[in-house]
Amino acid sequence: MKKLSLQWRITLMTVLLTGVTCVSMNLLLCSSGVYYMDSIEDSLQDYGPIVIEDEETASFDPQLVPSGEGLTIVVSGAQARFRTTNWYITAAIALLGGMLAYFVSGRALRPLRRFAQQAEQVETSNLSEIRLGEETLPELRSLTHALNEMLERLSRGFDAQRQFIGNAAHELRTPLTLLQTQLELFSDEHPDILPESAAFLATLQDEVQRLSRLTHTLLDMSDLQSVPRDDVILLSPMIDEVFADLAPLAERNGISFSREGEDVTVVGSDMLLCRMFFNLVENAVKYNRPDGMVKVDVQQRDGQAVIHVADTGRGIPQEFWQSIFQPFFRVDKSLSRELGGAGLGLPLVWEIARLHGGRVWVENSNDSGSVLAVTLPLSAPITDTVRG
């Protein structure tokens, strides 16, 4: 019963109520009808014997010799037909009542369906824009008003969070840049320092550089909403450019690149989509095995661009397939720290895909490697403005 929709619940309750009412009415009518038939039988005069033509049909001729038994047979047969007819009528009325209840309840529940459709359109990206219509049923009006107020509070909370992250990242960027510059100058001016001091200095430089990357990523994530997303982009040249940018890192690890698929055009932010593919490919290179491979496949399917990024790395345990897109989550914390990861690369990929009307997920992962998939809405190619 818990899995049934509200419309089916109303229908079943209506059928049950109608059935109980009809059965009760049927029993009362049958009792009343039989009682009055017996009264009629007692008050009538005997007109004659019954002429039995067959086993199912009985009749009598009033002109024949009187007989009290014949009238009893006729009345008894009428009572049986009366009961049977009543039960047929009861079943028909219950069935008709259930059908009417289903269609009437469906019409009555339309405002609730519209309310659900409006609620499904609520996302973190449109909290400040979307409002649920309050011109609805009185029973839903207070709920709609409460949800609108909740959406407004959530919007203010997300705006404050983004503003705080952006302000904090902006304030941290300048001192970190200054600190990194001073450490580099100190290293250049003191090449003959003790090995222990040199190692300590190198550790400081690595940590400052990691903090600088983290600050830049936080600043990017806090400002994604304001980036225009109306560029018409051909994906193949963009992916080739990402390969070229990551070629030095891939060569150090012996990783080879390959691209397959079709020439697909999408609409979005050139900068953000390039950053998304850069993060995906960089992640595949960093967590790959030596002399491994990274392959990017681009296809068109059901009005969408489907991009698969496959590697030959160690794989991701299935229980972490959703968690890797959460900020600061890392499957192997020691390895991520060693590689300079902050746990924001894939969350940034997820946010960029969502802002473009797409999504990203782990399609497959095992000891032989992982396959991450991204979908983006397609766009008709425009030759004059296509990137690449």
Are residue 213 and residue 235 in the same domain, yes or no? Answer: no
Residue 122 in domain = no
Q: What is the enclosing helix (H) or strand (E) of 271?
A: helix 270-286
Are residue 101 and residue 149 in the same domain, yes or no? Answer: no
Are residue 192 and residue 233 in the same domain, yes or no? Answer: no
Are residue 265 and residue 285 in the same domain, yes or no? Answer: yes
| Per-residue tokens: 98 | 């259930």
Helix (H/G/I), strand (E/B), else coil: 220: helix
Residue 113 in domain = no
Spans of the chain below 50 pLDDT: 45-70, 336, 380-388
CA 272 from centroid of its chain's CA atoms: 24
Mark which of 54, 89, 108 sits at the end of a domain.
108
Of 109, 104, 41, which is closest to residue 75 (Cα–Cα)?
Answer: 41
Mark which of 201, 222, 243 sits at the end of a domain.
222
Are residue 214 and residue 329 in the same domain, yes or no? Answer: no
Backbone phi, then psi, for 319, in 5-degree steps? -70, -10
How many CA within 13 A on the CB side of residue 56?
1
Residue 258 in domain = yes
Residue 26 in domain = yes
The string of DSSP letters for 176-197 reads: HHHHHHHHHHHHHH-TT--HHH
Question: What is the pLDDT, as a whole number, of residue 262?
Answer: 85
Are residue 237 and residue 371 in the same domain, yes or no? Answer: yes
Helix (H/G/I), strand (E/B), else coil: 58: strand
Q: What is the pTM of this model?
A: 0.54
Are residue 243 and residue 373 in the same domain, yes or no? Answer: yes
Are residue 218 and residue 234 in the same domain, yes or no? Answer: no
Question: What is the pLDDT, as a whole number, of residue 221?
Answer: 67
Helix (H/G/I), strand (E/B), else coil: 292: coil
180: domain CATH number is: 1.10.287.130
Residue 368 in domain = yes
Are residue 163 and residue 62 in the same domain, yes or no? Answer: no
Are residue 246 and residue 342 in the same domain, yes or no? Answer: yes
CA 287 from centroid of its chain's CA atoms: 30
Quote the Cα angle for 249-252-253, to 5°.
90
Are residue 198 and residue 329 in the same domain, yes or no? Answer: no
The string of DSSP letters for 64-113 reads: S---HHHHHHHHHHHHHHHHHHHHHHHHHHHHHHHHHHHHHHHHHTHHHH
308: domain CATH number is: 3.30.565.10
Residue 277 in domain = yes
- Containing domain of residue 65, as a range? 6-108
Quote the number of domains for the chain.
Answer: 3
Are residue 179 and residue 248 in the same domain, yes or no? Answer: no
